[in-house]
Amino acid sequence: MKYISRNLENVVNQVTKEYPVVLVTGPRQVGKTTMLQKLMEGTKRGYVTLDDLNERHIAKTDPELFLQLHKPPILIDEVQYAPELFTYIKIHVDKNHKPGDFWLTGSQVFKLMRGVQESLAGRVAVLSLTSLTQAEISDGNLEPFVVDMEALSRRMNCREQVDTRGIFERIYRGSMPAIVSGVNSSSQIFYSSYLSTYLERDVRELSDAIDSLKFLHFITAAAARCGQMLNVAEIARDADINQVQAKSWLGILETLGIIFYLHPYSNNMLKRLVKTPKLYFYDTGLVCYLTKWSSAETLESGAMNGALLENYVVAEIMKTYVNSGKEPYMYYYRDKDVKEIDIVLEHDGVLNPIEIKKTANPGTELVKVFGLLDKASVPRSKGAVICMKPALSAIDRDNYIVPVWMI
């Protein structure tokens, strides 16, 4: 099995020199432990996992003894199972003031964050890891995605060009390390066991009153609406649950790092905007499994191809930021006249509008909508159409054409 280098490695190494505690959060199976164990090679750092019930019992009932048995520098895996440790980690940190003493991982973000913020405020660097990005898979350029010709040219030079079929293969296969590195040859078998083993277990940890079959119907109903404005009533109806439950379960999926939202770009200068967020999954392979596509070919010509392509592009751009330890300022635009811009990226005091289309020949009509941002108080800069055109190109001086394989 080939180890795939992660963009977050540099960030972990940097914050380890500055903070006594480094916490890496993210969904299960995205490679948190693998990455940290790789970084530990040749060092004196020890390792313990709280998936081990015996270790978990000691950590919960006698955290002081646990830290005597497992002296820093230490990597403690799945730390959410013993929040009792946080107070004792704080005592140790305040006494010793040593950067990098504790590396922690955890896959239930909210529960963890509560404990961390209460006990370790100011002493901990919190990082998130998602499934692999295109860049990590191809060992390519690892900068966060920006609409800038120099940055785009650098991306182009270290990526492998793929056609539309190749992109839909990637969408169908997903971006979980076990599939990409070839440990699991069948994505169908992987996602089936992923749902039954991890999601079910984590979901029960967060809410023990959940009926597994109903939850599967619910997550399938959510997957069928990826790339769309969130409609809790429709998801609840399809899953045969009430809206309060649907809202609560969406919260659980967000907690576990399975879904995220793009919120509408709002600005007091822009009137008549919608307020509803759009729903996306971090991993399109899971969506394809849940919505029962049998192959990349059927997906490419199927009814969901546009929604899944949009989900893939939005998630890829989002992951280039998250996996670099950076905060993405990503939104979408939609007004009451149903005029929409798929992504509005805000950085360095400007807005970059981005459209996502399955076409290989985008025309000027696609960028007309970008002018809607001119009334915003933040200036509009370069725009982009991300599409199936094989090479980096431009519609005009202000709007670039970016192939999907380059993001």
Q: Tell me what the mean pLDDT of segment 97-122 comes to.
A: 83
And the tokens for 152? Answer: 């785009």
Where does residue 112 rank: exposed (0-12), middle (13-18), buried (19+ CB within 10 A)?
Answer: buried
* 212-223 helix and 243-255 helix, angle to the nearest 10 degrees: 80
146 and 119 inside one domain? no
Mean pLDDT of the chain, nearest integer: 91
Say whether both 250 and 300 belong to one domain: yes
Identify the pLDDT of residue 51: 92
**Residues 148, 121: one domain?**
no
pLDDT at 9 over 90: yes
Query: Is 112 in the same domain as 217?
Result: no
Average pLDDT over residues 389-396: 95
74, 97, 128 — which closes off a domain? 128
**Within-domain flag for 296:** yes
Residue 21 lies in a domain: yes
Q: Is there a single domain that holds both residue 83 and residue 174?
A: no
Better-scored residue on pLDDT, 192 or 117: 192
Alpha-carbon separation of residue 404 from 4, 74, 126, 160, 360 (angstroms): 21, 40, 30, 11, 10
**Which of 40-49, 59-68, 127-136 has the least mean pLDDT?**
127-136
- Band the pLDDT of 110: cuts 50, 70, 90: low
Residue 117: which pLDDT band, with cuts at 50, 70 and 90? Answer: confident
Do 39 and 78 lie in one domain? The reply is yes
Tell me the average pLDDT across 270-283. Answer: 88
Task: Give the pLDDT score at 144.
Answer: 93
Domain co-membership, 76 together with 156: no
Q: Which residue has the higher pLDDT, 181 or 10?
A: 10
Contact predicate 405/162, CB 8 Å? yes
In a domain, 1, yes or no: no
111 found inside a domain: yes
Average pLDDT over residues 288-302: 95
Is 249 found in the same domain as 109?
Answer: no
146 lies in the same domain as 50: no
Res 111 pLDDT > 70: no
pLDDT at 268: 66
Measured in whole angstroms, the distance separating CA 267 from the mean position of its chain's CA atoms is 26
Provide the pLDDT for residue 119.
Answer: 84
The answer to whether residues 212 and 355 belong to one domain is: yes
What pLDDT was estimated at residue 227?
97
Ramachandran region of residue 13, left (φ > 0), alpha (ψ -120 to 50) or beta?
alpha
Q: Which of 74, 95, 128 is the last residue of a domain?
A: 128
Q: How confident is the model at residue 375 (pLDDT cuts 50, 70, 90)?
A: confident
Question: Does 93 fall in a domain?
Answer: yes
Q: Counting beta carbons within 10 angstroms of the beta carbon of residue 379, is it exposed (0 to 12), middle (13 to 18) or buried (19 or more)?
A: exposed
How far is C-alpha 199 from the chain's CA centre? 16
Kindly report, residue by residue over 201-242, the tens digit of the pLDDT: 777 776 767 787 888 999 999 999 999 999 999 999 999 999
Per the structure block, which two tokens stand in for 30?
């995205």
In a domain, 307, yes or no: yes
Provide the domain limits for residue 149.
134-406
pLDDT of residue 388: 96
Query: Is the domain of 58 the same as that of 153?
Result: no
Say how many C-beta atoms besides its own lie within 10 A of residue 305's C-beta.
17
**C-alpha span between 260 and 145 (Å, rounded):** 18
Q: What pLDDT score does 139 carry?
A: 76
pLDDT top residue among 280 and 4:
280
Lowest mean pLDDT of 22-36, 267-281, 297-311, 320-334, name the range.
Answer: 267-281
Q: Is the pLDDT of residue 109 over 70?
A: no
Same domain membership, residue 93 and residue 221? no
Contacts for 21 with CB less than 8 Å, ≥ 6 apart:
89, 93, 101, 102, 104, 120, 123, 124, 125
The predicted model scores a pTM of: 0.93
Domain harbouring 37, CATH code: 3.40.50.300
State what percent of residues in the chain have pLDDT above 90: 72
Lowest mean pLDDT among 85-94, 105-114, 257-266: 105-114
**What's the structural domain count of the chain?**
2
Domain final residue pick, 100, 128, 156: 128
Give percent of the chain with pLDDT exceeding 70.
96
Q: Note whether residue 3 is domain-resident.
A: no
Among the ranges 47-56, 110-119, 120-129, which has the highest mean pLDDT value? Answer: 47-56
